[in-house]
Amino acid sequence: MKPIRKAVLPVAGFGTRVLPATKTIPKEMLPVFDRPAIQYVVDEALAAGIEHIVFVTGRNKGAIEDYFDTAYELETSLAAKNKTEILEAVQATCPVAGSMSFVRQQAPLGLGHAIWCARDIIGDEPFAILLPDVLVKAEPSCLAQMVAAYEETGSNIIAVEPVPEAEVNKYGVIDPAERSGNRIRMNGMVEKPPVDEAPSNLAITGRYILQGKIFDYLADQAAGAGGEIQLTDAMARLMATDEFYAVEYAGQSYDCGSKLGYLRANIAYALADAEHGAGARALLDGEFAA
Ligand code: G1P
């Protein structure tokens, strides 16, 4: 069984739902408490054993590439002032040389198309996908839980979680067959079904482990929900021939693509912070108590 070494992070989206904050800043660079949202997702990937990250970027996303690089002037200045702790925090964001690739999606044709843009860099091996809009607080990390399931099955895996029935039309939704522990065999999956047609309330969380074969399906995938080339539609075709499981992971997700979801993530990560968690709690219970 081939190990999961590479992960694709699609970051080409405009961040329309959180404009005007994202007019000049990539949404992935907006801070969640004390670091850019993308940092949490990269950390989740690394914690699951990922060795190489492929960013599918677009115009005006250069800040992401710069963030994962040496900041020479800044680091020299911090070193000269003996600001060792801050310097170390800055240097910790710099990945191992050669462990990140950037490829452009030139047109917003959908998530499926974005992933297909990474095909040459991924090659013929199983890989992970992490959608950076979604932060997942979990121990072990969501992707690590999925890697554990992959190591037992060698199959395709998606993370799922229950969502309120009224919100199923915002997600990819699975049609569950039988369940064994947290592992679910599926009859199918559908992208953004109308609420009264959804096969369940188990939504796809934005974490995937897929075989390289998915690229064959993405290559000729027709546009689906919202007129976009959907990853879910290609996965539904792959599922017809190959083993595929959903894993209901243990943890909590935060959708940073919406304003309240983003605020919620900020509060959650502030409360969990070793240094500032108690202060954040005091703010909520005092000044912001109902
Ligand atoms: C994407 C996927 C969807 C998934 C969701 C998770 O949708 O297409 O299947 O449930 O992410 O956040 P998007 O939020 O990009 O519309």
Mean pLDDT of the chain: 95
Q: Answer yes or no: is 290 within a domain.
A: no
Q: Answer yes or no: is 32 within a domain.
A: yes
Q: Answer yes or no: is 135 within a domain.
A: yes
Q: How far is the CA of 172 from the centre of ligand 1 (A)?
A: 6
Q: Answer yes or no: is 227 within a domain.
A: yes
d(CA 140, CA 132): 18
Q: How many domains does the chain have?
A: 1
d(CA 23, CA 77): 30
153 lies in which domain range?
Answer: 6-285
CATH code, domain with 211: 3.90.550.10
d(CA 97, CA 238): 34
d(CA 203, CA 170): 9
d(CA 55, CA 58): 10
Q: Answer yes or no: is 207 within a domain.
A: yes
Q: Answer yes or no: is 1 within a domain.
A: no
The HSE-up count of residue 112 (CA atoms within 13 Å, CB side) is 26
Q: How far is the CA of 82 from the centre of ligand 1 (A)?
A: 44
Local structure of 228: helix, strand or coil: coil
* Closest ligand 1 atom to Cα of 133: 12
Q: Answer yes or no: is 108 within a domain.
A: yes
Residues 6+ away with beta carbon under 8 Å from 180 = none
Q: Answer yes or no: is 256 within a domain.
A: yes
> Per-residue pLDDT tens for 210-226?
999 999 999 999 999 99
- Residue indicated by tokens 């109308």: 194
d(CA 252, CA 70): 32
> Per-residue pLDDT tens for 240-283?
999 999 999 999 999 998 889 999 999 999 999 999 999 999 99
- The number of residues in the chain equals 290
> Per-residue pLDDT tens for 14-55?
878 888 888 889 999 999 999 999 999 999 999 999 999 999
Q: Tell which one of 133, 134, 136 to mutate to probe ligand 1, the residue whose CB is within 8 A of the most ligand atoms.
A: 133
